[in-house]
Amino acid sequence: MNRLDFAPLGFGVGLRRPHYEPILDAHPTMDWFEVISENFMVEGGRPLQILEDVRAHYPIVMHGVSLSIGSSDPLNRTYLDALRSAACRFEPAWVSDHLCWTGVGGRNLHDLLPLPYTEETVRHVAERIRQVQEILERRILIENVSSYMEFRSSRLEEWEFLTAVAEEADCAILLDINNIFVNAFNHRFDALRYIDAVPADRVAQFHLAGHSDHGSYLLDSHDHPIRAEVWALYQHAVRRFGRVPTLIEWDDNIPDFEVLAAAAAEARRRCDLVLAPERLHATG
Ligand SMILES: [Fe+2]
C-alpha cells in the first residue's frame, strides 16, 4: 500500500463505448473501471445513465485529458467545477490527469504535450496542482505522458521532473509503464533507471497499454496488445512498488471486452508471480 492510502482496487480496464453493452447486459467480473472524466462531465442524458449503472456494480476512477495542468493559461474554473460535481456524483476512488499541457490562449489542442523539465516548470505546475487539489478537495494523481520531442531548455531528467512535481504538489503518481518504455526508446534513456528513481510511496496506479513501432520511434497508440518488454518492465515496477492498482488502456482498434479482461488477468498473474512466487509454485 502506498503512503497516500488510496484503495487497493486490483486490476481493471478502461471503460470504452464498444463495451458499454456487454458490461451493462452481463456485468462481467472486473475489479474496477477507469472512465474518461470529460465524457461524463455533462448535465444529463445517456452517458450519465450508463455510468450510474456501471458505478452501481463496480468501483471507478476518473481519468481526465483536459486539465492542462502545465499550461500558462489560468486554471479553467468552469472545467474544474464540472469535474468536481461529476466526482461528487460518481464518487470515484480517485481522480487523475496528465503531467502535460493541452492548449494555450483558450484553445484545446486535444493532445497531451510535453513540458520543459526545469525548476521553473516544477514550481508552476506544482502550484497549480495544489490549487486543483484544494478545489476538488482531494489529492489527485498525475500521469507521465509519452513524448516525441524534447526542449533544449530542460535541465532535469524526466523522472526527476515527475518526482519534483509530485513532491512539491504533494500529489500522487499514476505511472504509465508503456509511456516510460516508449520515451526510453524515443529519448534514449534507461527505463529501469526511471522506475528505480520514482518515489515508491507516491505511486498509486499503473497504466499498461500497447504502442506501435515506427522504426525510428515508438508511438503510444493504445491500439496493440501489450508488448513483452513492457510486461517485463511492469514486473520490475511491481517488484519495486508492490501491488499497485493496474489498468489496461486500449483506445483504438478496440477488441472484444474479453481480450481486455484477459490482459487485466495477465497483469494479476504477473503481479502474483513477482510478489508470491513460492506460493504459486506450491499450488501449481
Ligand atoms: Fe496512460
Query: Ligand 1 centroid to 231 CA: how many Å?
Result: 15
Give the pLDDT of residue 227.
96
Query: Ligand 1 centroid to 248 CA: how many Å?
Result: 9
Q: Which three cell numbers stand for residue 168?
A: 512539491
With a cut of 60, say whether residue 2 has pLDDT above it. Answer: no
CA separation for the pair 271, 265 (Å, rounded):
10
Give the pLDDT of residue 280.
58
Distance of CA 232 to the CA centre of its chain: 19
Q: At what angle do helices 228-241 and 257-275 cross, to 10 degrees?
A: 50
Distance of CA 68 to the CA centre of its chain: 15
Radius of gyration for the chain, computed over Cα atoms and rounded to the nearest angstrom: 18
Residues with CB under 5 A from ligand 1 (ion): 176, 207
Query: Ligand 1 centroid to 277 CA: how many Å?
Result: 28
Q: How confident is the model at residue 33 (pLDDT cuts 50, 70, 90)?
A: very high
Residue range 207-220: average pLDDT? Answer: 94
Query: Ligand 1 centroid to 282 CA: how many Å?
Result: 35
Question: What residue has cell string 482498434?
Answer: 253
Binning the chain into helix, strand and coil, the percentages to the nearest 5 are 45, 20, 35
DSSP H or E stretch at residue 176: strand 172-176
Mean pLDDT of the chain: 95
Query: Ligand 1 centroid to 141 CA: how many Å?
Result: 12
Query: Ligand 1 centroid to 207 CA: how many Å?
Result: 5
pLDDT tens by residue, 156-192: 999 999 999 999 999 999 999 999 999 999 999 999 9
Query: Ligand 1 centroid to 175 CA: how many Å?
Result: 8
Query: Ligand 1 centroid to 54 CA: how many Å?
Result: 21
Residue range 258-277: average pLDDT? Answer: 95
Collapsing DSSP to helix, strand or coil, 239 comes out as: helix
Residue range 84-98: average pLDDT? Answer: 97
The helix/strand count (H/E) of the chain reads as 10, 12
